[in-house]
A and B are shown apart, each in its own frame.
Chain A
Amino acid sequence: MRAFRKTTTAALGVAVLTLSACAGIDTSGSGGGLLGEFEPSERQTMIVPMSAGGGSDLSGRAIASGLEEVTGRTMSVENQDGGGGAVGYANFLGLQGNASHLLATETALVNLGLTQDVPFNWESFTPVMKVGQDSTVVVVKSDSPYDTCPDVVDAAKEGKVLAAVSGGATGNDAIQFGLIEKDQGVAFQRVPYESGGEAIAAVLGGHVDVGLTNPGEVIGQFESGDLKPLCVIAEKRYEYEELADIPTTVEQGIDVTFSQFRGVIAPGGLTDEAVDYWVDASKLYVKTEAFQEYMSSNYMQVDTAFGSDFAAYLKGYEAELKAGLG
């Protein structure tokens, strides 16, 4: 998997990519061929630091096949899971300067550096593209007494509210509940679950009062009326017709908009040309129909950012995350 070093030997000496280097990324300067001066090797690899079949895997595979289309080169997908992504990111750290590898990233990129003893943080890598947000909806069982998110907050002020948390004690759910707790001055009783599916089962079974989920996982339960969406943790409502009725946290007076992002990063220490190449390719990809279809079938909110803009986003994200964990 490290066969492609030779293409970028020149870049190997470059130290860990810093923000200043990132700021130098500007795609307007790229001329020459379709995608600029840089010529990547024939075979590219998309690393997915999570197990096959999950949300990150689907996203990584969708983006990889999309990039194949726009670059005309083969891009294979490798799953390297373990430690909530830590193993994959750590291996990726060893690919400094290697422009033929990308990694399908999400919250763990920022999260792991803050919560675990790992040798990297998001600044160790080159941000390439953010495709958008996988927002979270606060859900309760259909016969629950709560109808809005403030109802849940008020209940937590008076008594115990059991909240299902999947994805680990420092995962997305935990951060979002943490931010709501902080914003509203309440505390939920968290019950950890291994997967989103188990958490939803617990909500449906009445074992917990409230849960968080990506709408793609529960659209069927919304339709059948088994689950009731209270609010979406976001600034703007969903544009998808079937979700457009769900009010946002902001509308309901809760100032929390944190959501999981999905995107792609490259190893640190790339040449400017290589970075430009991937950013340009990404910009072409998000204009394709395949991209739109992937985003809409998973009910993700399109909100693209590239290169330095993505880096700026990550900086703000890190600050928000710290608050949610604290």
Chain B
Amino acid sequence: MTATAASRNTAHRDTGAWVMRVLLLALGAAVLVAGISYGVRTPDGHVGPGMMPAAAGAVMLLAGAWESLKAFRSGREATDGDDSTVSSGAEGAEDEDSQLDVFGRTTAQRNRAVAVVFGVIALGVALTYAIGLLLGLSLMVAVLLTFVEKKPLWVGVVWGAGAFAFGYLVFGLALNVPLATGALGLI
């Protein structure tokens, strides 16, 4: 749908895409160097522990450079026309590759929502180490509903408790998964 617009945008799409490219290129270079230092071949001429990392790093570097070059030239790289920006199917039809705001929110607002959710997830992860897996994750569910989605408190509590009960019954009791209790060792 927005394919042509998006490919026109590619060159001056936000700096984010370029940060991403540089990061992946840097990682590729680091992996390549590490791979070479592990030894691509063993002294007696066999495949060494560094061969796979070196190959992976080289692929990241070369393909990354190729892709950066294409992006740099931009504009006309997509000869096949109608589907140049839809890459993996996992994102489906509604991917958000253009800057257009379909839902009437500004980019800043959308980015903030993303940051908040990631923040809550990170908090949930940290909590699991402190108060245990089930409690931490259930609390995360409650917080997401109550504070991020601004639902009434009882909704958050009900979902959190439901998640807790399901996790405890199915994972803990039925499937015997040893649920980590965290530093406090509550449950």
Complex contacts, A296 vs chain B, CB 8 Å: none
**B85 located at the interface, meaning its Cβ lies under 8 Å from any Cβ of chain A in the complex:** no
Complex contacts, A1 vs chain B, CB 8 Å: 178, 180-181, 185
**A5 located at the interface, meaning its Cβ lies under 8 Å from any Cβ of chain B in the complex:** yes
A6 nearest CB neighbor, chain B only? B185
Complex contacts, B183 vs chain A, CB 8 Å: 2
A262 to B106, CA, bound (A): 63
A76 to B177, CA, bound (A): 10
B176 x A3 contact (CB < 8 A): no
Q: Main SS of the interface on chain A?
A: mixed
B187 nearest CB neighbor, chain A only? A3
**A209 located at the interface, meaning its Cβ lies under 8 Å from any Cβ of chain B in the complex:** no
Closest CB of chain A to B141's CB: distance in Å? 22
Interface size on B, residues (CB 8 A): 6
**A78 located at the interface, meaning its Cβ lies under 8 Å from any Cβ of chain B in the complex:** yes
A45 to B183, CA, bound (A): 18
A189 nearest CB neighbor, chain B only? B46
Complex contacts, A2 vs chain B, CB 8 Å: 181, 183, 185
Closest CB of chain B to A65's CB: distance in Å? 14
Closest CB of chain B to A99's CB: distance in Å? 16
B133 nearest CB neighbor, chain A only? A1
Complex contacts, B180 vs chain A, CB 8 Å: 1
A5 to B183, CA, bound (A): 11
A1 to B176, CA, bound (A): 13
Closest CB of chain A to B88's CB: distance in Å? 29
Give A19-62 interface residues, CB cut-off 8 Å to B: 45
A1 to B133, CA, bound (A): 11
B185 x A78 contact (CB < 8 A): no
Complex contacts, A3 vs chain B, CB 8 Å: 181, 185
Closest CB of chain B to A229's CB: distance in Å? 30
A5 to B185, CA, bound (A): 9
B181 x A78 contact (CB < 8 A): no
Complex contacts, A5 vs chain B, CB 8 Å: 185
The 8 A CB mask of B10-37 against A (1 = contact, 0 = none) is 0000000000000000000000000000
The 8 A CB mask of B80-118 against A (1 = contact, 0 = none) is 000000000000000000000000000000000000000
Closest CB of chain A to B152's CB: distance in Å? 34
Closest CB of chain A to B59's CB: distance in Å? 24
**What 8 new A-B contacts, CB under 8 Å, besides A1-B185, A2-B183, A5-B185?**
A1-B178, A1-B181, A2-B181, A2-B185, A3-B185, A45-B178, A76-B178, A78-B178
In the complex, 9 of the A-B residue pairs with CB atoms within 8 angstroms, ordered by the A residue number, are A1-B181, A1-B185, A2-B181, A2-B185, A3-B181, A5-B185, A45-B178, A76-B176, A76-B178
